[in-house]
Structure 1
Amino acid sequence: MDFKDLFQFLEHLQKNNTKEWMDANRKWYKSLRMDFIAWLDQLDMTMEQLDDHYYSTPGKKGINRINNNLMFHPHKPIYKDHFGAGLDKAPNSADFYIEIGVKQCLLAGGFWRPDSKTLRSIREGIDYNGEELQAILDSPSFKKQFGELYKDERLTNAPKGYSYDHPHIELLKNKTFAVVHEFDRKEVLQHGFDDKIKNVYLEMLPFRRYLNNSASV
Protein backbone atom coordinates (compact mmCIF):
# COMPACT_ATOMS: atom_id res chain seq x y z
CA MET A 1 0.00 0.00 0.00
CA ASP A 2 1.44 3.37 -1.02
CA PHE A 3 0.44 5.42 2.02
CA LYS A 4 2.35 8.42 0.73
CA ASP A 5 0.03 8.52 -2.27
CA LEU A 6 -2.97 8.05 0.02
CA PHE A 7 -1.93 11.03 2.18
CA GLN A 8 -1.44 13.18 -0.92
CA PHE A 9 -4.89 12.27 -2.20
CA LEU A 10 -6.54 13.07 1.13
CA GLU A 11 -4.72 16.40 1.41
CA HIS A 12 -5.89 17.41 -2.07
CA LEU A 13 -9.41 16.22 -1.25
CA GLN A 14 -9.61 18.34 1.90
CA LYS A 15 -8.59 21.43 -0.08
CA ASN A 16 -11.18 20.62 -2.76
CA ASN A 17 -13.94 18.86 -0.84
CA THR A 18 -16.52 18.89 -3.60
CA LYS A 19 -18.27 16.32 -5.75
CA GLU A 20 -16.84 18.03 -8.82
CA TRP A 21 -13.26 17.48 -7.66
CA MET A 22 -13.97 13.88 -6.65
CA ASP A 23 -15.59 13.16 -10.02
CA ALA A 24 -12.52 14.57 -11.79
CA ASN A 25 -10.24 12.39 -9.63
CA ARG A 26 -12.42 9.32 -9.41
CA LYS A 27 -9.78 7.11 -11.07
CA TRP A 28 -7.20 8.12 -8.44
CA TYR A 29 -9.65 7.43 -5.62
CA LYS A 30 -10.71 4.03 -7.00
CA SER A 31 -7.08 2.96 -7.42
CA LEU A 32 -6.29 3.90 -3.82
CA ARG A 33 -9.44 2.23 -2.55
CA MET A 34 -8.54 -1.02 -4.31
CA ASP A 35 -5.02 -0.88 -2.85
CA PHE A 36 -6.39 -0.18 0.61
CA ILE A 37 -8.76 -3.15 0.34
CA ALA A 38 -5.87 -5.39 -0.76
CA TRP A 39 -3.85 -4.17 2.23
CA LEU A 40 -6.79 -4.92 4.54
CA ASP A 41 -7.03 -8.40 3.05
CA GLN A 42 -3.39 -9.03 4.00
CA LEU A 43 -4.01 -7.76 7.52
CA ASP A 44 -7.10 -9.95 7.75
CA MET A 45 -5.04 -13.05 6.95
CA THR A 46 -2.37 -12.02 9.45
CA MET A 47 -4.89 -11.51 12.25
CA GLU A 48 -6.56 -14.82 11.50
CA GLN A 49 -3.24 -16.55 12.21
CA LEU A 50 -2.82 -14.68 15.49
CA ASP A 51 -6.21 -15.39 17.04
CA ASP A 52 -8.21 -18.64 16.90
CA HIS A 53 -11.41 -16.68 17.53
CA TYR A 54 -10.75 -14.05 14.88
CA TYR A 55 -13.74 -13.36 12.63
CA SER A 56 -12.46 -13.17 9.06
CA THR A 57 -13.44 -9.85 7.50
CA PRO A 58 -12.39 -9.24 3.87
CA GLY A 59 -11.25 -5.72 3.08
CA LYS A 60 -14.25 -5.02 0.86
CA LYS A 61 -16.55 -5.80 3.79
CA GLY A 62 -14.46 -3.92 6.33
CA ILE A 63 -13.78 -0.65 4.51
CA ASN A 64 -15.95 2.35 5.34
CA ARG A 65 -17.49 4.79 2.88
CA ILE A 66 -15.48 7.94 2.31
CA ASN A 67 -18.70 9.99 2.16
CA ASN A 68 -19.88 11.61 5.37
CA ASN A 69 -23.47 10.91 6.37
CA LEU A 70 -24.93 14.36 5.71
CA MET A 71 -28.42 13.29 6.73
CA PHE A 72 -27.37 13.18 10.39
CA HIS A 73 -24.42 15.60 10.12
CA PRO A 74 -25.44 18.19 7.51
CA HIS A 75 -22.65 20.62 8.45
CA LYS A 76 -19.82 18.16 7.81
CA PRO A 77 -17.81 18.19 4.55
CA ILE A 78 -19.04 15.88 1.80
CA TYR A 79 -16.01 13.60 2.15
CA LYS A 80 -14.04 12.35 5.13
CA ASP A 81 -10.40 13.20 5.71
CA HIS A 82 -9.39 9.56 6.17
CA PHE A 83 -9.72 5.99 5.01
CA GLY A 84 -11.25 3.83 7.72
CA ALA A 85 -12.13 0.17 8.17
CA GLY A 86 -13.19 -2.39 10.74
CA LEU A 87 -11.73 -5.89 10.97
CA ASP A 88 -12.67 -8.85 13.16
CA LYS A 89 -16.29 -7.78 12.68
CA ALA A 90 -18.19 -10.59 14.36
CA PRO A 91 -21.82 -9.61 14.96
CA ASN A 92 -22.44 -7.78 18.25
CA SER A 93 -18.76 -7.80 19.18
CA ALA A 94 -16.20 -5.19 20.22
CA ASP A 95 -14.79 -3.18 17.33
CA PHE A 96 -11.27 -3.28 15.92
CA TYR A 97 -11.00 -0.12 13.87
CA ILE A 98 -8.25 1.27 11.63
CA GLU A 99 -8.05 4.87 10.48
CA ILE A 100 -5.43 6.42 8.21
CA GLY A 101 -6.03 10.14 7.75
CA VAL A 102 -4.51 13.58 7.34
CA LYS A 103 -5.30 14.63 10.92
CA GLN A 104 -4.84 11.33 12.71
CA CYS A 105 -3.87 7.70 12.19
CA LEU A 106 -5.05 5.25 14.80
CA LEU A 107 -6.18 1.84 15.88
CA ALA A 108 -9.18 1.66 18.20
CA GLY A 109 -11.15 -1.12 19.78
CA GLY A 110 -14.06 -1.81 22.09
CA PHE A 111 -17.63 -0.56 22.28
CA TRP A 112 -18.41 3.09 21.55
CA ARG A 113 -21.72 4.04 23.18
CA PRO A 114 -23.26 0.56 22.90
CA ASP A 115 -27.01 0.01 22.99
CA SER A 116 -28.66 -0.26 26.39
CA LYS A 117 -28.77 -4.09 26.36
CA THR A 118 -25.07 -4.42 25.57
CA LEU A 119 -24.12 -1.72 28.06
CA ARG A 120 -26.16 -3.46 30.75
CA SER A 121 -24.39 -6.76 30.00
CA ILE A 122 -20.95 -5.13 30.19
CA ARG A 123 -21.82 -3.57 33.54
CA GLU A 124 -23.04 -6.93 34.81
CA GLY A 125 -19.70 -8.41 33.74
CA ILE A 126 -17.85 -5.69 35.67
CA ASP A 127 -20.08 -6.27 38.69
CA TYR A 128 -19.27 -10.00 38.56
CA ASN A 129 -15.56 -9.77 37.76
CA GLY A 130 -14.36 -6.19 37.46
CA GLU A 131 -11.00 -7.22 38.89
CA GLU A 132 -10.11 -8.88 35.57
CA LEU A 133 -10.88 -5.78 33.52
CA GLN A 134 -9.02 -3.53 35.97
CA ALA A 135 -5.98 -5.82 35.80
CA ILE A 136 -6.01 -5.56 32.00
CA LEU A 137 -6.25 -1.76 32.14
CA ASP A 138 -3.47 -1.56 34.77
CA SER A 139 -1.03 -3.75 32.86
CA PRO A 140 2.15 -1.70 32.11
CA SER A 141 2.26 -2.89 28.49
CA PHE A 142 -1.43 -2.02 28.01
CA LYS A 143 -0.91 1.43 29.52
CA LYS A 144 2.08 1.98 27.23
CA GLN A 145 -0.01 1.22 24.13
CA PHE A 146 -3.31 2.87 25.09
CA GLY A 147 -2.94 4.96 28.22
CA GLU A 148 -6.44 4.68 29.65
CA LEU A 149 -10.00 4.17 28.49
CA TYR A 150 -11.20 6.55 25.80
CA LYS A 151 -12.73 9.59 27.46
CA ASP A 152 -16.38 9.97 26.55
CA GLU A 153 -19.68 10.72 28.27
CA ARG A 154 -19.95 9.19 31.73
CA LEU A 155 -22.64 9.00 34.36
CA THR A 156 -22.32 11.44 37.23
CA ASN A 157 -24.02 9.06 39.64
CA ALA A 158 -23.97 5.31 40.02
CA PRO A 159 -25.89 3.35 37.35
CA LYS A 160 -29.31 2.13 38.38
CA GLY A 161 -29.00 -0.97 40.52
CA TYR A 162 -25.45 -0.26 41.73
CA SER A 163 -24.33 1.38 44.93
CA TYR A 164 -22.06 4.41 45.18
CA ASP A 165 -19.51 2.38 47.15
CA HIS A 166 -19.21 -0.39 44.54
CA PRO A 167 -15.51 -1.32 44.23
CA HIS A 168 -15.62 -0.69 40.47
CA ILE A 169 -17.96 2.27 40.45
CA GLU A 170 -15.67 4.36 38.23
CA LEU A 171 -15.71 1.66 35.54
CA LEU A 172 -19.47 1.23 35.86
CA LYS A 173 -20.07 4.93 35.17
CA ASN A 174 -18.68 4.65 31.65
CA LYS A 175 -20.97 4.68 28.63
CA THR A 176 -18.11 3.85 26.24
CA PHE A 177 -15.58 1.08 26.70
CA ALA A 178 -12.87 1.64 24.13
CA VAL A 179 -9.15 2.30 23.79
CA VAL A 180 -7.12 4.12 21.13
CA HIS A 181 -3.53 3.87 19.93
CA GLU A 182 -2.35 6.70 17.69
CA PHE A 183 0.41 6.62 15.06
CA ASP A 184 2.16 9.59 13.53
CA ARG A 185 2.51 9.79 9.78
CA LYS A 186 6.19 8.88 9.93
CA GLU A 187 5.33 5.53 11.54
CA VAL A 188 2.74 4.78 8.88
CA LEU A 189 5.26 5.43 6.11
CA GLN A 190 8.05 3.42 7.72
CA HIS A 191 8.83 -0.21 6.96
CA GLY A 192 7.30 -2.45 9.62
CA PHE A 193 4.04 -0.56 10.08
CA ASP A 194 2.07 -3.81 9.68
CA ASP A 195 4.09 -5.36 12.52
CA LYS A 196 3.16 -2.44 14.76
CA ILE A 197 -0.51 -3.03 13.95
CA LYS A 198 -0.08 -6.69 14.84
CA ASN A 199 1.48 -5.81 18.21
CA VAL A 200 -1.30 -3.36 19.04
CA TYR A 201 -3.93 -5.92 18.05
CA LEU A 202 -2.42 -8.54 20.37
CA GLU A 203 -2.16 -6.09 23.28
CA MET A 204 -5.79 -5.08 22.79
CA LEU A 205 -7.06 -8.65 22.51
CA PRO A 206 -7.63 -9.43 26.24
CA PHE A 207 -9.58 -6.18 26.59
CA ARG A 208 -11.82 -6.95 23.61
CA ARG A 209 -12.29 -10.56 24.71
CA TYR A 210 -13.38 -9.42 28.15
CA LEU A 211 -15.95 -7.08 26.62
CA ASN A 212 -17.18 -9.73 24.19
CA ASN A 213 -17.58 -12.29 26.97
CA SER A 214 -19.53 -9.78 29.04
CA ALA A 215 -21.67 -8.53 26.17
CA SER A 216 -22.66 -12.04 25.10
CA VAL A 217 -24.15 -12.96 28.48
Structure 2
Amino acid sequence: MQFQKNSFQFLKDLQKNNNRDWFTEHKPTFVEIQKQVKELFLEMQANLEKHDDIDKMKIYRIYRDVRFSKDKTPYNPRLAVSFSRLGKELRGGYFLEIKPGGALLGGGFWQPEKEDLLRIRKEIEQDATEFRDILEDKDYVKYFGGQFEGDELKSAPRGFDKEHKDIDLLRKKGFIAIRTFTEAEVLSPNFLEELDDSFKALRPFFNLFSDVLTTNLNGESLI
Protein backbone atom coordinates (compact mmCIF):
# COMPACT_ATOMS: atom_id res chain seq x y z
CA MET A 1 0.00 0.00 0.00
CA GLN A 2 1.03 3.61 -0.48
CA PHE A 3 -0.27 7.12 0.11
CA GLN A 4 -2.46 8.53 -2.63
CA LYS A 5 -2.28 11.93 -4.34
CA ASN A 6 -5.92 12.69 -3.48
CA SER A 7 -4.94 12.86 0.22
CA PHE A 8 -2.57 15.73 -0.47
CA GLN A 9 -5.11 17.46 -2.71
CA PHE A 10 -7.75 17.30 0.03
CA LEU A 11 -5.34 18.76 2.60
CA LYS A 12 -4.36 21.56 0.23
CA ASP A 13 -8.00 22.36 -0.49
CA LEU A 14 -8.82 22.31 3.23
CA GLN A 15 -5.93 24.64 3.94
CA LYS A 16 -7.46 27.15 1.48
CA ASN A 17 -11.05 26.57 2.63
CA ASN A 18 -10.74 26.08 6.36
CA ASN A 19 -14.39 26.53 7.28
CA ARG A 20 -17.24 24.28 8.35
CA ASP A 21 -19.39 24.79 5.25
CA TRP A 22 -16.64 23.61 2.90
CA PHE A 23 -15.72 20.68 5.13
CA THR A 24 -19.33 19.54 5.48
CA GLU A 25 -19.73 19.57 1.70
CA HIS A 26 -16.55 17.53 1.22
CA LYS A 27 -16.82 15.28 4.26
CA PRO A 28 -17.55 12.12 2.20
CA THR A 29 -14.15 12.63 0.53
CA PHE A 30 -12.50 13.05 3.91
CA VAL A 31 -14.12 9.89 5.28
CA GLU A 32 -12.78 7.87 2.35
CA ILE A 33 -9.28 9.36 2.71
CA GLN A 34 -9.37 8.77 6.45
CA LYS A 35 -10.18 5.10 5.82
CA GLN A 36 -7.29 4.74 3.34
CA VAL A 37 -4.82 6.45 5.62
CA LYS A 38 -5.85 4.42 8.67
CA GLU A 39 -5.00 1.24 6.75
CA LEU A 40 -1.56 2.68 6.00
CA PHE A 41 -1.07 3.66 9.64
CA LEU A 42 -1.99 0.11 10.66
CA GLU A 43 0.62 -1.20 8.24
CA MET A 44 3.15 1.15 9.83
CA GLN A 45 2.28 -0.32 13.21
CA ALA A 46 2.63 -3.87 11.90
CA ASN A 47 6.09 -3.00 10.57
CA LEU A 48 7.10 -1.44 13.87
CA GLU A 49 5.91 -4.47 15.82
CA LYS A 50 8.39 -6.62 13.90
CA HIS A 51 11.27 -4.91 15.73
CA ASP A 52 9.77 -3.03 18.69
CA ASP A 53 7.08 -3.48 21.37
CA ILE A 54 4.24 -1.06 20.67
CA ASP A 55 1.62 -0.21 23.27
CA LYS A 56 -0.88 1.73 21.17
CA MET A 57 -1.48 3.79 18.06
CA LYS A 58 -3.08 7.23 18.28
CA ILE A 59 -4.59 8.85 15.18
CA TYR A 60 -4.96 12.60 15.61
CA ARG A 61 -8.28 14.28 14.93
CA ILE A 62 -8.53 16.76 12.09
CA TYR A 63 -10.81 18.93 14.24
CA ARG A 64 -9.05 21.69 16.21
CA ASP A 65 -9.86 22.67 19.79
CA VAL A 66 -10.27 26.44 19.37
CA ARG A 67 -11.58 27.26 22.85
CA PHE A 68 -8.32 28.80 24.08
CA SER A 69 -6.73 29.71 20.75
CA LYS A 70 -6.61 33.01 18.90
CA ASP A 71 -6.66 30.98 15.68
CA LYS A 72 -10.31 30.01 15.24
CA THR A 73 -9.92 27.96 12.06
CA PRO A 74 -11.82 24.74 12.85
CA TYR A 75 -9.61 22.15 11.12
CA ASN A 76 -5.99 21.11 11.14
CA PRO A 77 -5.01 20.28 7.53
CA ARG A 78 -2.90 17.25 8.36
CA LEU A 79 -3.13 13.49 8.84
CA ALA A 80 -1.10 12.43 11.84
CA VAL A 81 -0.38 9.36 13.94
CA SER A 82 1.80 8.43 16.89
CA PHE A 83 2.91 5.12 18.39
CA SER A 84 3.85 4.70 22.04
CA ARG A 85 6.15 1.93 23.23
CA LEU A 86 5.10 -0.77 25.68
CA GLY A 87 6.16 -0.94 29.31
CA LYS A 88 7.89 1.32 31.83
CA GLU A 89 11.32 0.30 30.57
CA LEU A 90 10.72 1.29 26.94
CA ARG A 91 10.78 5.06 26.52
CA GLY A 92 10.33 7.20 23.45
CA GLY A 93 7.62 7.44 20.84
CA TYR A 94 7.17 7.58 17.07
CA PHE A 95 5.25 10.26 15.16
CA LEU A 96 4.26 10.95 11.54
CA GLU A 97 2.45 13.98 10.13
CA ILE A 98 1.28 14.23 6.52
CA LYS A 99 0.60 17.83 5.51
CA PRO A 100 0.36 19.92 2.33
CA GLY A 101 3.66 19.60 0.51
CA GLY A 102 5.14 16.63 2.34
CA ALA A 103 5.54 14.93 5.70
CA LEU A 104 7.37 15.12 8.99
CA LEU A 105 8.62 12.10 10.90
CA GLY A 106 9.59 12.54 14.52
CA GLY A 107 10.68 10.50 17.47
CA GLY A 108 11.95 10.99 20.97
CA PHE A 109 11.10 13.14 23.95
CA TRP A 110 9.24 16.35 23.05
CA GLN A 111 8.23 17.67 26.48
CA PRO A 112 9.69 15.31 29.08
CA GLU A 113 8.34 15.50 32.59
CA LYS A 114 10.33 17.72 34.95
CA GLU A 115 11.82 14.76 36.82
CA ASP A 116 12.79 12.97 33.60
CA LEU A 117 14.42 16.08 32.15
CA LEU A 118 16.46 16.59 35.31
CA ARG A 119 17.56 12.94 35.24
CA ILE A 120 18.69 13.27 31.61
CA ARG A 121 20.59 16.46 32.38
CA LYS A 122 22.29 14.88 35.38
CA GLU A 123 23.46 12.02 33.18
CA ILE A 124 24.80 14.46 30.58
CA GLU A 125 26.52 16.47 33.31
CA GLN A 126 28.23 13.34 34.61
CA ASP A 127 29.25 11.89 31.23
CA ALA A 128 27.81 12.78 27.82
CA THR A 129 29.90 10.26 25.88
CA GLU A 130 26.99 7.95 25.02
CA PHE A 131 24.84 10.89 23.94
CA ARG A 132 27.59 12.03 21.59
CA ASP A 133 27.89 8.48 20.28
CA ILE A 134 24.19 8.58 19.30
CA LEU A 135 24.68 11.85 17.44
CA GLU A 136 27.61 10.33 15.55
CA ASP A 137 25.90 7.01 14.77
CA LYS A 138 26.00 6.56 10.99
CA ASP A 139 22.32 5.68 10.63
CA TYR A 140 21.22 8.48 12.96
CA VAL A 141 23.32 10.93 10.93
CA LYS A 142 21.94 9.52 7.66
CA TYR A 143 18.30 9.92 8.60
CA PHE A 144 18.30 12.71 11.20
CA GLY A 145 21.34 14.84 10.50
CA GLY A 146 23.24 14.00 13.67
CA GLN A 147 21.42 16.37 16.00
CA PHE A 148 18.67 16.57 18.60
CA GLU A 149 15.89 18.97 17.75
CA GLY A 150 13.75 20.66 20.38
CA ASP A 151 13.37 23.88 22.37
CA GLU A 152 16.36 25.18 24.30
CA LEU A 153 17.08 27.45 27.22
CA LYS A 154 19.03 30.62 26.46
CA SER A 155 21.44 29.83 29.27
CA ALA A 156 22.30 26.94 31.54
CA PRO A 157 19.47 25.31 33.49
CA ARG A 158 19.35 26.23 37.17
CA GLY A 159 21.98 24.35 39.15
CA PHE A 160 24.19 23.55 36.15
CA ASP A 161 27.49 25.15 35.16
CA LYS A 162 27.07 27.47 32.17
CA GLU A 163 30.68 26.69 31.24
CA HIS A 164 30.11 22.92 31.16
CA LYS A 165 31.67 21.36 28.05
CA ASP A 166 28.29 19.82 27.11
CA ILE A 167 26.20 22.93 27.73
CA ASP A 168 24.66 22.58 24.25
CA LEU A 169 22.99 19.37 25.43
CA LEU A 170 22.21 20.61 28.93
CA ARG A 171 20.25 23.56 27.53
CA LYS A 172 17.85 21.24 25.70
CA LYS A 173 14.25 21.23 26.95
CA GLY A 174 13.44 18.24 24.77
CA PHE A 175 15.30 15.69 22.66
CA ILE A 176 13.70 14.98 19.30
CA ALA A 177 14.82 13.43 16.03
CA ILE A 178 13.12 14.90 12.94
CA ARG A 179 13.15 13.92 9.30
CA THR A 180 11.14 15.62 6.57
CA PHE A 181 9.88 14.25 3.25
CA THR A 182 8.69 15.90 0.04
CA GLU A 183 5.28 15.11 -1.40
CA ALA A 184 6.95 13.03 -4.12
CA GLU A 185 8.78 10.98 -1.50
CA VAL A 186 5.55 10.35 0.43
CA LEU A 187 3.83 9.17 -2.76
CA SER A 188 6.66 6.82 -3.73
CA PRO A 189 6.03 3.05 -3.47
CA ASN A 190 8.84 2.56 -0.93
CA PHE A 191 7.72 5.29 1.51
CA LEU A 192 6.55 2.90 4.24
CA GLU A 193 9.85 1.03 4.00
CA GLU A 194 11.73 4.33 4.27
CA LEU A 195 9.68 5.25 7.35
CA ASP A 196 10.47 1.96 9.00
CA ASP A 197 14.19 2.25 8.27
CA SER A 198 14.07 5.69 9.89
CA PHE A 199 12.28 4.32 12.94
CA LYS A 200 14.89 1.57 13.27
CA ALA A 201 17.61 4.23 13.28
CA LEU A 202 16.01 5.70 16.43
CA ARG A 203 16.53 2.58 18.49
CA PRO A 204 20.05 3.36 19.87
CA PHE A 205 18.67 6.80 20.87
CA PHE A 206 15.64 5.23 22.56
CA ASN A 207 17.72 2.50 24.20
CA LEU A 208 20.07 5.02 25.81
CA PHE A 209 17.31 7.27 27.11
CA SER A 210 15.31 4.28 28.33
CA ASP A 211 18.33 3.08 30.27
CA VAL A 212 18.94 6.54 31.76
CA LEU A 213 15.31 7.05 32.77
CA THR A 214 14.99 3.69 34.47
CA THR A 215 18.18 3.88 36.56
CA ASN A 216 19.81 6.27 39.01
CA LEU A 217 23.20 7.90 38.52
CA ASN A 218 24.86 4.80 39.92
CA GLY A 219 23.22 2.65 37.25
CA GLU A 220 20.86 0.98 39.73
CA SER A 221 17.42 0.04 38.42
CA LEU A 222 14.44 2.15 39.46
CA ILE A 223 11.81 -0.29 38.21
The count of corresponding residues between Structure 1 and Structure 2 is: 211
Q: Distance in 2 between matches of 1:195 and 1:67?
A: 29
The code of the aligned residue for 1:40 comes to F
User: Residue 47 of structure 1 aligns with which residue?
Assistant: 48
Q: Distance in 2 between matches of 1:103 and 1:174?
A: 29
Q: Where does 1:10-49 land on structure 2 (aligned, <5 Å)?
A: 10-49=11-50
Mapped contact 1:10–1:81 kept (Cα < 8 A):
yes
User: Residue 131 of structure 2 aligns with which residue?
Assistant: 133
User: Residue 76 of structure 2 aligns with which residue?
Assistant: 80
Spell out structure 1 runs of 4+ moving beyond 6 A.
none
User: Residue 209 of structure 2 aligns with which residue?
Assistant: 211
User: Is structure 2 residue 61 aligned with structure 1 residue 62?
Assistant: no
TM-score computed with the length of structure 1 as normaliser: 0.87
Please say which of residues 28-37 and 160-169 is displaced more in the overlay: 160-169
User: Residue 100 of structure 2 aligns with which residue?
Assistant: 102
Mapped contact 1:109–1:179 kept (Cα < 8 A):
yes
Q: What stretches of structure 1 of length at least 5 have no aligned partner?
A: none
Deviation sequence 1:104-126 (CA, Å, 0-9, x none): 40110111132312211221232
Mapped contact 2:109–2:174 kept (Cα < 8 A):
yes
User: Is structure 2 residue 148 aligned with structure 1 residue 149?
Assistant: yes
Does 1 or 2 have the higher relative contact order (CA < 8 Å, sep 6+)?
2
CA-atom RMSD in angstroms:
2.0
Q: What stretches of structure 2 of length at least 5 have no aligned partner?
A: 216-223
Q: Distance in 2 between matches of 1:101 and 1:173?
A: 30
Please say which of residues 195-204 and 96-105 is displaced more in the overlay: 96-105
Higher helix share: 1
Percent identical: 27
Please say which of residues 206-215 and 108-117 is displaced more in the overlay: 206-215
TM-score computed with the length of structure 2 as normaliser: 0.85
Q: Distance in 1 between matches of 2:64 and 2:211?
A: 32
